[in-house]
Chain A
Amino acid sequence: MIYLDNAASTRPYREVLEEYVRHSQEDFANSNSKHYFGFATHSLLEKARKSVLTDLGVTDTHQALFCSGATEANNTVFQGIAFRYANRGKRILVGSTEHPSVLVTAHSLARLQGFEVVEIPVNAKGQVEPDTLASMMDKQTILVSIMAVNNETGAINDLPALAQVVHQFPKAFFHSDLTQSVGKMEMDYSGVDFLSFSGHKICAPKGTGVLVYRSKIGFESLHRGGDQEFGLRAGTVDVPGALALADALHRTCQEREAYIALAKTLFQQLKEGLSQIEEVVLNSDENGSPFVLNFSLRKHKASVVVEALSERGIYVSSVSACNSKGEPTSYVLAAMGKDPGDCANSIRVSFGHENTKEDVDAFLIALKEILTEVAPR
């Protein structure tokens, strides 16, 4: 198996899983229980919380809330802010290339709660430019959401610069989905009010996630019924999961330089290999995250090529399944102004620390073979 779909999910660190099992067996008390066993579990939870805040570099200003993943964290931000602060204004700005857990949630607030939700255009590289954002901000805006790194293309947004624009409007909060950036790049997150990410993209188990929020900001909770997680997420806390996420994040951050160097090498290697294939056009560039390389096929159908790769045990992502009833297409690439044919036929290769040069070689060989074998579109 050659796994080049690490932006979709990753294999958990073995040590993290072992600790997860150990904590599940030994520290199973409810962290909310008022006995010594419960207190001990609670202190493990607080240790995990502190570790996450330290690794993100926001120890003094922010607080962390453990949840099931970025989707829940994003839902919590949108609904939590919308319900609490609708009296201040009803305008929400979201990047046009955001993940569906942001876009769909935002648009549901427009549909159900009468918010004005506006998508911020991106430039040809897929980035939100601070000037563009500035031109769209107004006093009615209460929330701006712009991801750090795009999941399809790896395009990076300049969060500190964007944060500065948002904070010129005191009523507006700034949220950023860090799912594809956390542990994978150096970035100053301190200007962002809400940060969310999933554990399974950084080699923690699935079902773990964090919402990091500026401590002084209050918001409504999505789950009601208990005072866990400062009353912001009712329900018994998954302490072993929180510990596993904190552990995986810490390991990833410690190895960050090495991981980035590896990803850059693989990115270059793949880019050079792809440049020999005439019909390939790159949708990612070197200024983006080295962990994601997106390209489109001009002559072949991407979904067919991905299926053929899959037959050979090579796993990457394409925008769509083969479907005659309306071809799915990438709204991310469309927002970047790409040609419709390219939007419907893109392939994403995403690296993890377990990948090797041999993986990229094998991918390139298989891709070239497949392109000569399968019928063009």
Chain B
Amino acid sequence: MKFDSLLVHYGELSTKGSNRKEFIRCLVHNVRVALKAFPVEIKGNRDYILIGLGDQKPEPVIARLQEVSGIQRISLIYKTETPIETIQEAATALIATQPGKTFKVETKRTDKTYPLDSYGISIAVADAILDHTDLEVDVHHPDIVMKVTLRPGECLLSCQDYPGLGGYPLGMNGKVTMLLSGGIDSPVAAYSLMRRGILVDCLHFASPPYTQMAVIDKLKDLLKQLNVYQNDIRLQVVPFTKLQEAIYAHVPEPYCITIMRRMMIRIAEKVAKKNHCLGIATGESIGQVASQTLQSIVTINDVTSFPILRPLCVSDKLSIIETSKRIKTYEISIRPYEDCCTIFKPKKPKTKPRIDEAERYEASFDYASLIEEAVEGITNIYLSGGEEVEGKQIVCPNPGDLVE
């Protein structure tokens, strides 16, 4: 006898009373997508997702599930009938497969009509184990904890739990337009959003020939890595060269970056609304560079009333780097290609730009038509399961999320 199933415990469900159905629907969908490559049976219900392993080894399945958001923990379990003799027999056989010398039995009984109470079940199971094995009881520091969960009509036995990613199932908290540069921060910001159930639709501003084609390849590689957390991703590339040249030609150097960011936000808002996104997200971290001081953020943010999410706004650089290493985007992010050419980097950028000044400089050229032109020229790249694909191959928890 061996543990033959996995039990997926839902994440922050308790806080989501009325959204329970949506939570479960999204998570079951995401689990199915994540486990596509494994020959396992997936069944979701009100309380948990049960995954029948069959002949499949549990370890790779558990490892994959640990990358799916909305899962609190994963238990390796054996499902049995409820008569106490059956439970005793199964528990004894299963515990014999585990390494260790001491044990403890913990029982949770949701079926209140069961003849024995929780303590009674624990005693009965422990007695059986003591009778049939050499294990000894240690209730304080046991090597093995045999968990017995008694639900109406079924009993679940488990000895091992694995932590999940937490957060919400991807797709249940709407979607945002994510500004992706290719640096260290924006992929981490995207990951943070995904983990909290927000579907990420990516937008990149390309300024060839000032930026290189290699940047797009780098972005594709980053997104293929992020496919682990969001199986299907769209990258929209905005042709930004003309606008950037116009800024460079009309705006005093210290204000170039501020105005550039204002233009990016204007474009992002248009794109977001067109794509039915509920916000814009960036990898900004307050104080990190001139355009990310609070004063800069105020001036940049002034062009929109649309929400801008900044998941990393108060994160330390070191912890951002740590996360990027953990999600394996760091090595890609540090490739030398830059998203902004040195030609456009002011020597002394304004760290406290003023809204009225920015507006005055912007009035000196017709940026509105350049913005229209940029939005018109957007091209799409689709990535799914770590590969570049055609748009029609994209699947999301909600139809029409990334492809109309």
A residues in contact with B250, CB < 8 Å: none
Q: Nearest Cβ in chain A — how far from B96, in angstroms?
A: 50
| Residues A322 and B208 in contact, CB atoms below 8 Å apart | no
Report A341-377 residues with CB < 8 Å from chain B CB: 370, 374-377
| Residues B213 and A375 in contact, CB atoms below 8 Å apart | no
Tell me the dominant secondary structure on chain B's binding face. loop
Q: Nearest Cβ in chain A — how far from B207, in angstroms?
A: 10
| Residues A311 and B337 in contact, CB atoms below 8 Å apart | no
Tell me, yes or no, whether B209 is within 8 Å of chain A by CB. yes
State A374–B343 Cα separation when bound (angstroms): 10
Convert B335-361 into 0s and 1s, putting 1 for each residue whose CB lies closer than 8 angstroms to a CB of A: 011101111110000000000000000
| Residues A321 and B208 in contact, CB atoms below 8 Å apart | no
| Residues B210 and A304 in contact, CB atoms below 8 Å apart | yes
Convert A309-343 into 0s and 1s, putting 1 for each residue whose CB lies closer than 8 angstroms to a CB of B: 01100000000011111010000000000000000
Tell me, yes or no, whether A200 is within 8 Å of chain B by CB. no
- Knowing A321-B336, A321-B337, A323-B336, the reply to whether A375 touches B342 (Cβ < 8 A) is no
| Residues A305 and B343 in contact, CB atoms below 8 Å apart | no
Tell me, yes or no, whether A46 is within 8 Å of chain B by CB. no
- Knowing A324-B338, A375-B245, the reply to whether A301 touches B343 (Cβ < 8 A) is yes
Q: Nearest Cβ in chain A — how far from B349, in angstroms?
A: 13
Q: Nearest Cβ in chain A — how far from B167, in angstroms?
A: 34
Q: Nearest Cβ in chain B — how far from A353, in angstroms?
A: 28
Tell me, yes or no, whether A5 is within 8 Å of chain B by CB. no
| Residues B210 and A324 in contact, CB atoms below 8 Å apart | no
| Residues B345 and A322 in contact, CB atoms below 8 Å apart | no
Tell me, yes or no, whether B82 is within 8 Å of chain A by CB. no
State A324–B344 Cα separation when bound (angstroms): 10
Convert B142-181 into 0s and 1s, putting 1 for each residue whose CB lies closer than 8 angstroms to a CB of A: 0000000000000000000000000000000000000000
State A324–B340 Cα separation when bound (angstroms): 8
Q: Nearest Cβ in chain A — how far from B246, in angstroms?
A: 10
Tell me, yes or no, whether B248 is within 8 Å of chain A by CB. yes
| Residues A321 and B209 in contact, CB atoms below 8 Å apart | no
Q: Nearest Cβ in chain A — how far from B284, in angstroms?
A: 18
B residues in contact with A375, CB < 8 Å: 210, 245, 248-249, 343-344
A305 nearest CB neighbor, chain B only: B209
| Residues A324 and B345 in contact, CB atoms below 8 Å apart | yes
Between B208, B209, B249, B336, the greatest number of chain A beta carbons within 10 A of the residue's beta carbon is seen for: B209
- B213, B245, B341: which contacts A310 (Cβ < 8 A)? B213
- Knowing A375-B245, A375-B248, the reply to whether A321 touches B342 (Cβ < 8 A) is no
Q: Nearest Cβ in chain A — how far from B85, in angstroms?
A: 66
- How many A residues touch the partner, as a band? 20 to 34
| Residues B342 and A301 in contact, CB atoms below 8 Å apart | yes
| Residues A322 and B338 in contact, CB atoms below 8 Å apart | yes
- Knowing A321-B336, A322-B338, A325-B336, the reply to whether A307 touches B343 (Cβ < 8 A) is no
Q: Nearest Cβ in chain A — how far from B209, in angstroms?
A: 4
State A289–B213 Cα separation when bound (angstroms): 32
- A305, A322, A370, A376: which contacts B342 (Cβ < 8 A)? A322
- Knowing A301-B342, A304-B343, the reply to whether A311 touches B209 (Cβ < 8 A) is yes
Tell me, yes or no, whether B80 is within 8 Å of chain A by CB. no
B338 nearest CB neighbor, chain A only: A324
Tell me, yes or no, whether B211 is within 8 Å of chain A by CB. yes
Report B191-212 residues with CB < 8 Å from chain A CB: 208-212
| Residues B213 and A322 in contact, CB atoms below 8 Å apart | no
State A327–B342 Cα separation when bound (angstroms): 9
State A304–B336 Cα separation when bound (angstroms): 15
B residues in contact with A377, CB < 8 Å: 342-343
- A311, A324, A325: which contacts B208 (Cβ < 8 A)? A311
State A306–B208 Cα separation when bound (angstroms): 11
A residues in contact with B63, CB < 8 Å: none
| Residues A307 and B336 in contact, CB atoms below 8 Å apart | no
Tell me, yes or no, whether B214 is within 8 Å of chain A by CB. yes
| Residues A321 and B212 in contact, CB atoms below 8 Å apart | yes
Tell me, yes or no, whether A308 is within 8 Å of chain B by CB. yes
B residues in contact with A376, CB < 8 Å: 343
Q: Nearest Cβ in chain A — how far from B259, in angstroms?
A: 15
A323 nearest CB neighbor, chain B only: B336
Report B213-258 residues with CB < 8 Å from chain A CB: 213-214, 245, 248-249
- A305, A310, A323, A374: which contacts B338 (Cβ < 8 A)? A323
B residues in contact with A321, CB < 8 Å: 212, 214, 336-337
Between B210, B245, B338, the greatest number of chain A beta carbons within 10 A of the residue's beta carbon is seen for: B210
| Residues B209 and A374 in contact, CB atoms below 8 Å apart | yes
State A304–B211 Cα separation when bound (angstroms): 7
- B212, B248, B340, B342: which contacts A307 (Cβ < 8 A)? B212
A303 nearest CB neighbor, chain B only: B212
* A residues with CB within 8 A of B: 301, 303-308, 310-311, 321-325, 327, 370, 374-377
Pairs A-B, 4 closest by C-beta atoms = A308-B209, A307-B209, A324-B342, A323-B336
27 interchain pairs, CB-CB under 8 A: A301-B341, A301-B342, A304-B209, A304-B210, A307-B210, A307-B213, A308-B208, A308-B209, A310-B213, A311-B208, A311-B209, A311-B213, A321-B336, A322-B211, A322-B338, A322-B341, A323-B336, A323-B337, A324-B338, A324-B345, A325-B336, A327-B342, A374-B210, A375-B245, A375-B248, A375-B249, A377-B342
Task: Give 19 A-B pairs besides A304-B209, A321-B337 with Cβ atoms closer than 8 angstroms.
Answer: A304-B341, A305-B209, A307-B210, A307-B211, A308-B209, A310-B209, A311-B208, A322-B210, A322-B337, A322-B342, A323-B336, A323-B338, A324-B341, A324-B342, A375-B245, A375-B343, A375-B344, A377-B342, A377-B343
